[in-house]
């Protein structure tokens, strides 16, 4: 026995982590610092060290708005809830019965998500050591979330003031002038929409993180009994987050639309027409994009810097397993899974859906106006109905995954990926049916009686595109298929050949998705053009709306896709808890299987997100051209890239993608270097760590990664926001002096176009190569090619560390960047003229 310094207590020399004395759990209402909990409480005794991240507490973090609500008497809260629901349904009824239906479905989906939340939390947390590790992960995730979103909030307030100032001094278009919507009204509406979008995006991220840090330990505990039970808990936890995120995106836009409709007295004599109303919602999409970008950057830097640091020193240098409790960076790694993969992905998908809905509403209104459709509300509100039904069909898909087997033998259960695919297949079939019914109900018009059938086929194109993306990404990232197995085999000849094979795999993986996107855009556009809808001159006008409908079809199963995505980090965290709590090898085998499947689902979801980003950006690009034409009062249908200034704008757009990716990856690299140095220092200064005689200082690594990620996310984020504004304004001034009044708008249009093309290809390369490297490592860890600890495994770990910033930082941030560029140009369009 050895004496614990400063306490007189004794620590055993045993190599069993569970033999360390565990202190009484700290009451959740005590304001005790997280480091005291980790070093002197829940995680057992430590030597005291200086603290550098005091914001992280054992008291559970709850956002201020929820804390204020909880202080109100329950009866008063109930009355306020009823008044709020009454007000929502009142403005909905004054707007359209369709809005009432959307509100009703969203509320029901929230009730379903509450059931899922209670079901997940009713499961046991396992033995005390599991709960204690989970508490430390939760403390770290909530502490970082609070600090990160505090920083994002300050930047959002500053940007909101800038937007307000720009709108107060910008010109108004003729339609706004005729309807009485002046500069001040337009400024207030845009800023309110921006702040609401940012707030909802932040809540979406919090919900994703909140459930993951509570479900992880329950999945770990269930894995001791049954792989199928563990799978079901992870899926339902992800389903809770998905339903809330999609429901908030839909209900937020619906409330904003209905409120503006009532307050501005839309469609009354002398007031704004309903076809122009969706343009007032662009601020909502910009706010969602803004928060999603910084959440993805900050969370991605956090999770991958910790992961790289833990792997390079722990696995390669010290030869200890992944998530081993002796690794000082292991808690930071597990915290990163929640803030990077859950919180950021929730905000990401929220932004994707919001951008797609708003752009489709704008194009639907524009087409209805050109075609003189008597009741355009069906074309405008169609996206809200589609995503409302998404909540219904995805709920069916989630509940189709049941715990039908209780075997703890790994070979006695079905492949988890096959189970998830069955649920996705159920959702796809229901999506086809509901989409067809929705088009017949919403898009039937006397002007073109058969148009709804063409648009139903556009939706089918979108659904097939989504399914194709899932299959393609699965092929390139699942170790059951040849590409990943070939990548694993390349590790047998060293680290260099592993990197070469991974890069070539990523480059190759861009081909099929681009072909699929190309076919879907052209097919949907052609179906829309031949729908029979024509303008006053007899020219077909349904092409762009057909592409919008295809995008809706692709995102018509978004809630189930997000469920699969959330499954990944929850399973990853569960595996870490199992390893740290020293559970039997059979339990770790189950969580390893779920983790490998989770890597594939995360990769497929990223592929899905890239495809939807391509289509959504195309819609926003078209909406931008319509808005420029509206403000300039001249046609703006095409951009000539043979004009030197316009071509330069395209070059700048492509450069932006590469520079942004470089800064995101280098941010991970710099932060990972700090983690590597800290982990090495602890192994040198505390030699007893390897023999379980001393415990690592986990909180120090968490502190390093948290502070660095908050610092590093600013530069690439600022680049994304400032670049299009600066380029557009600069070329507007140049155009003024050279007699080209629309030069600024044209250059920004070219910049957006080239950035979208380059960004899609770069994101596909980064996401797929990173996912393939990760699963090649997992494949070797199953026992092939020498298994864990072999030279082949070390080479695969090197490839995995190279791919970490690709797939979880730069790649996911890129498809958010693409959509944010489109929304920011849409919001700032008047300053380019």
pLDDT tens, position by position, 358-367: 888 888 888 8
3-state secondary structure of 3: strand
The model's confidence at residue 523, banded by pLDDT at 50, 70 and 90, is: very high
Q: How far apart are CA 809 and CA 761, in angstroms?
A: 16
* Strand ranges inside 614-761, DSSP E: none
| pLDDT the model gives residue 15 | 33
Q: How far apart are CA 762 and CA 539, in angstroms?
A: 37
In the predicted model, what is the mean pLDDT of residues 231-251? 91
Q: How far apart are CA 158 and CA 517, in angstroms?
A: 37
Report which of residues 611 and 645 the model is more confident about: 645
Q: How far apart are CA 530 and CA 523, in angstroms?
A: 11
- Above 70 in pLDDT, residue 713? yes
Provide, rounded to the nearest whole percent, the portion of the chain with pLDDT above 70.
89
In the predicted model, what is the mean pLDDT of residues 300-311? 85
| pLDDT the model gives residue 19 | 34
Q: How far apart are CA 177 and CA 734, in angstroms?
A: 28
In the predicted model, what is the mean pLDDT of residues 251-272? 86
In the predicted model, what is the mean pLDDT of residues 764-776? 90
Q: What angle do CA 351, 560, 397 make, to 5 degrees?
A: 155
Q: How far apart are CA 596 and CA 775, in angstroms?
A: 7
Report which of residues 82 and 8 the model is more confident about: 82
Which of the 8 DSSP states describes residue 809? I
| pLDDT the model gives residue 569 | 85
Q: What is the 3-state secondary structure (H, E, C) of 248-294?
A: HHHHHHHHHHHHHHHHCCCCCCCCCCHHHHHHHHHHHHHHHHHHHHH
Q: Which two tokens stand for residue 506?
A: 């990523």
| pLDDT the model gives residue 119 | 93
Report which of residues 131 and 399 the model is more confident about: 399
| pLDDT the model gives residue 106 | 93
Q: How far apart are CA 367 and CA 361, in angstroms?
A: 10
Beta-carbon contacts of 284 under 8 Å, excluding residues fewer than 6 positions away, are 193, 194, 196, 197, 252, 253, 256, 354, 358
In the predicted model, what is the mean pLDDT of residues 266-278? 81
Q: Which of 391, 351, 344 is nearest to 113 (CA)?
A: 391
The model's confidence at residue 6, banded by pLDDT at 50, 70 and 90, is: very low
Using the structure block, give the residue that is written with the tokens 């800290």: 678
Q: Which two tokens stand for residue 292?
A: 């999603």
- Above 70 in pLDDT, residue 13? no
Q: How far apart are CA 205 and CA 211, in angstroms?
A: 10
The model's confidence at residue 511, banded by pLDDT at 50, 70 and 90, is: very high
Q: Which of 162, 224, 167 is nearest to 190 (CA)?
A: 167
Is the CB of residue 616 less than 8 Å from the CB of residue 551?
Answer: yes
Report which of residues 592 and 158 the model is more confident about: 158
The model's confidence at residue 174, banded by pLDDT at 50, 70 and 90, is: low
In the predicted model, what is the mean pLDDT of residues 714-721? 90
The model's confidence at residue 510, banded by pLDDT at 50, 70 and 90, is: very high
Lowest mean per-residue pLDDT among 196-200, 340-344, 497-501, 642-646: 340-344
- Above 60 in pLDDT, residue 46? no
Mean pLDDT of the chain: 82
Is the CB of residue 757 less than 8 Å from the CB of residue 751?
Answer: no
Global pTM value: 0.83
Q: Which two tokens stand for residue 681?
A: 């220092």
User: Residue 531: what are its φ and ψ, rounded to 5°?
Assistant: -75, -15
For the segment 434-493, what is each residue's pLDDT rounded down to a tens digit?
Answer: 999 999 998 888 888 888 999 999 999 999 998 888 889 889 988 888 999 999 999 999
User: Residue 823: what are its φ and ψ, rounded to 5°?
Assistant: -70, -35
3-state secondary structure of 422: helix
Report which of residues 19 and 686 the model is more confident about: 686
3-state secondary structure of 641: coil
Report which of residues 645 and 478 the model is more confident about: 645
| pLDDT the model gives residue 579 | 83
DSSP secondary structure of 218-238: HHHHHHTT-HHHHHHHHHHHH
In the predicted model, what is the mean pLDDT of residues 516-540? 88
| pLDDT the model gives residue 312 | 81
- Above 90 in pLDDT, residue 630? no
Beta-carbon contacts of 753 under 8 Å, excluding residues fewer than 6 positions away, are 621, 639, 650, 653
- Above 60 in pLDDT, residue 88? yes
How many CB atoms within 10 Å of residue 445?
A: 20
| pLDDT the model gives residue 129 | 84
Q: How far apart are CA 672 and CA 473, in angstroms?
A: 28
The model's confidence at residue 769, banded by pLDDT at 50, 70 and 90, is: very high
Report which of residues 543 and 24 the model is more confident about: 543
- Above 70 in pLDDT, residue 558? yes
In the predicted model, what is the mean pLDDT of residues 613-632? 79
| pLDDT the model gives residue 3 | 36
Q: Which residues pair with 2 in a beta bridge?
A: 11
Is the CB of residue 131 less than 8 Å from the CB of residue 217?
Answer: yes
In the predicted model, what is the mean pLDDT of residues 650-667? 93
- Above 60 in pLDDT, residue 37? no
| pLDDT the model gives residue 414 | 66
């Amino acid at each position: 026995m050895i004496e614990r310094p400063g306490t007189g207590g004794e620590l055993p020399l045993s190599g069993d982590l569970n033999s360390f004395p565990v202190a009484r759990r700290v009451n959740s209402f005590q304001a005790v610092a997280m480091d005291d909990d980790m070093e002197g409480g829940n995680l057992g005794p430590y030597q005291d060290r200086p603290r550098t991240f005091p914001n992280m507490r054992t008291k559970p973090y709850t956002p201020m708005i929820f804390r204020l609500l909880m202080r109100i008497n329950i009866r008063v809260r109930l009355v306020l809830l009823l008044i709020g629901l009454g007000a929502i349904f009142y403005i909905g009824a004054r707007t359209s019965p369709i809005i009432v239906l959307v509100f009703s479905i969203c509320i029901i989906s929230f009730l379903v998500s509450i059931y899922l939340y209670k079901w997940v939390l009713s499961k046991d947390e396992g033995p005390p050591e599991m709960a204690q590790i989970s508490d430390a992960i939760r403390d770290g995730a909530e502490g970082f979330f609070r600090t990160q979103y505090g920083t994002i909030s300050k930047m959002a307030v500053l940007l909101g003031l800038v937007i307000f100032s720009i709108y107060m001094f910008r010109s108004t278009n003729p339609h706004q002038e005729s309807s009485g919507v002046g500069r001040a009204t337009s400024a207030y509406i845009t800023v309110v929409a921006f702040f609401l979008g940012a707030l909802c995006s932040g809540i979406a991220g919090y919900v994703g993180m909140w459930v993951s840090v509570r479900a992880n330990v329950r999945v770990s505990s269930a894995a001791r009994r049954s792989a199928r039970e563990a799978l079901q808990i992870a899926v339902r936890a992800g389903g809770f987050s998905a339903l809330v995120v999609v429901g908030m995106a839909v209900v937020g836009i619906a409330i904003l639309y209905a409120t503006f409709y009532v307050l501005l007295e839309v469609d009354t004599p002398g007031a704004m027409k309903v076809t122009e109303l969706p343009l007032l919602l662009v601020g909502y999409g910009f706010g969602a994009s803004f928060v999603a970008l910084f959440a993805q950057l900050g969370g991605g830097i956090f999770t991958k810097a910790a992961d790289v640091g833990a792997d390079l020193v722990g696995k390669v240098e010290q030869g200890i397993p992944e998530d081993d409790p002796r690794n000082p960076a292991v808690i930071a790694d597990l915290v990163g899974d929640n803030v990077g993969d859950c919180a950021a992905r929730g905000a990401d998908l929220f932004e994707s859906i919001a951008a797609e809905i708003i752009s489709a509403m704008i194009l639907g209104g524009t087409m209805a106006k050109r075609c003189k459709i008597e009741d355009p509300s069906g074309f405008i509100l169609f996206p809200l109905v589609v995503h409302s039904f998404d909540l219904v069909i995805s709920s069916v898909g989630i509940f189709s995954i049941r715990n039908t087997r209780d075997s703890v033998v790994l070979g006695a259960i079905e492949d988890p990926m096959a189970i998830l695919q069955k649920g996705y297949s159920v959702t796809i079939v229901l999506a086809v049916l509901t989409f067809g019914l929705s088009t017949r109900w919403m898009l039937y018009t006397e002007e073109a009686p058969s148009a709804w059938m063409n648009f139903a086929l556009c939706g089918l194109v979108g659904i097939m595109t989504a399914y194709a993306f899932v299959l393609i990404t699965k092929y390139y990232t699942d170790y059951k298929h040849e590409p990943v197995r070939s990548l694993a085999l390349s590790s047998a000849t060293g680290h260099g050949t592993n990197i070469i094979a991974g890069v070539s795999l990523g480059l190759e993986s861009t081909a099929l998705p681009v072909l699929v996107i190309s076919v879907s855009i052209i097919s949907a556009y052609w179906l829309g053009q031949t729908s029979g809808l024509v303008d006053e001159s007899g020219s077909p006008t349904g092409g762009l709306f057909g592409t919008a409908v295809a995008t809706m079809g692709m995102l018509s199963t978004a809630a189930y896709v997000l469920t699969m995505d959330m499954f990944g980090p929850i399973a990853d965290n569960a595996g870490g808890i199992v390893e740290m709590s020293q559970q039997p090898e059979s339990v770790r085998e189950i969580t390893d299987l779920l983790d490998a499947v989770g890597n594939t689902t995360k990769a497929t979801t990223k592929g899905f997100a890239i495809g939807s980003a391509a289509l959504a950006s195309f819609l926003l690009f078209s909406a931008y051209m319509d808005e420029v034409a509206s403000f300039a009062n001249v046609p703006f249908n095409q951009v000539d890239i043979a004009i030197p200034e316009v071509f330069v704008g395209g070059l700048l757009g492509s450069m932006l993608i590469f520079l942004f990716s470089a800064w995101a990856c280098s941010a991970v690299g710099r932060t990972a270097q700090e983690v590597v140095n800290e982990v090495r220092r602890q192994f040198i200064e505390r030699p007893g760590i390897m023999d379980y005689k001393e415990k690592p200082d986990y909180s120090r690594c968490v502190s390093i990664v948290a502070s660095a990620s908050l610092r590093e996310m600013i530069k690439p984020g600022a680049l994304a926001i400032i670049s299009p504004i600066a380029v557009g304004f600069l070329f507007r001034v140049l155009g003024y002096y050279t007699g080209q009044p629309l030069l600024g708008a044209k250059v920004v249009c070219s910049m957006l176009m080239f950035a979208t093309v380059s960004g899609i290809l770069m994101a596909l390369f980064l996401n797929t190569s990173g996912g393939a490297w990760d699963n090649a490592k997992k494949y070797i860890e199953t026992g092939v090619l020498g298994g864990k600890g072999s030279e082949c495994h070390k080479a695969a770990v090197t490839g995995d560390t190279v791919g970490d910033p690709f797939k979880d930082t730069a790649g996911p941030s890129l498809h958010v960047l693409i959509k944010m560029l489109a929304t920011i140009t849409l919001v700032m369009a008047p300053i380019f003229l």
